[in-house]
Amino acid sequence: MENQIFDIIELRPATKHYYGDSLKMPEILLEDGLLVKAGTLDIPLGHSRYGGPIADLPKNFDYPEDLRFAAQLDLKQIAPHDMYGLLPKTGHLFFFADIMEDKGLVVYADIDSSELVRVVKDHEDNFFEGVLIKEAFATTEKLSDRYRDPEDEYEEEDANDDGLIWDYFEGSETSKIFGIFTHCQAQEQQILDVVNSDKLVLLQIGENGFNDEGVFSVLIELEDLKALNFSNCEFHWGQS
């Protein structure tokens, strides 16, 4: 089982993050010039992104007041890298979440970017900071990478038959679609139970330039994804 290899769509962020124009940030956070006001950036309508105050949504969409905008994916940018052929080829996926309650909403709309309407909600809550998804590409990951050598005699006591231990934090640095569920607070068997189920990682945003700390994940059942039913998704936030 440890030799399992998974096709994934890896996501890479743009360099600059942005926040609401009406907010005031501590100067120490602005010193390196990588966090800027949203109004200073050219953010194309419908471009894939994570978090922030700016969401490009379907016309007449009721923005959920109890959730924060977490992400949107332009499937014309993402789907060409889907080796499983499970994602819709066109349209957009929208993600809203409350990471304190592990709840959220996923909406799919098969419309062109030109049909979206920009909605701006400045806030200082979770997901206040946004970043565009600069790049998406097909690659793979291995379950064996979730195991490592023990670092001391105490860890050696917990080693498996191959002399390795489960690495709770491996995978946290990756942002992706599909592949191995990542949650640093979950036990090895809990992760393996997801891996061996029909649940798929619809979205994982990790610590590779998107989040400083923590991993945001959304799971979906395989049959739900095939049916474009996004009403039963699971939402997880893992942080040490």
Give residues with Cβ within 8 angstroms of 200, minimum separation 6.
Answer: 86, 178, 219, 220, 221, 222, 225
Distance, CA of 172 to CA of 141 (rounded, Å): 13
How many angstroms separate the first and last alpha carbons of the chain?
Answer: 27
What is the bridge-based pairing of β-strands 54-58 and 165-166? unpaired
Give the model's pLDDT for residue 117: 98
Phi, psi at 201, each rounded to 5° = -80, 105
Residue 151 CA to its chain's centroid (Å):
30
Residue in the block written with tokens 């096709």: 7
Give residues with Cβ within 8 angstroms of 148, minimum separation 6.
Answer: 164, 165, 167, 170
User: For 20-129, where are the E strands, in sequence order?
Assistant: 35-37, 49-50, 54-58, 68-74, 92-98, 103-109, 116-120
Give the model's pLDDT for residue 114: 97
DSSP state of 198: S
Q: Is 160 helix (H, G, I), strand (E, B) or coil?
A: coil
Per-residue pLDDT tens over the stretch 85-126:
999 999 999 999 999 999 999 999 999 999 999 999 999 999
Tell me which residues of the chain have a pLDDT lower than 50.
Answer: none
Give the model's pLDDT for residue 95: 98
Q: Is 190 helix (H, G, I), strand (E, B) or coil?
A: helix
* This model's pTM is above 0.75: yes
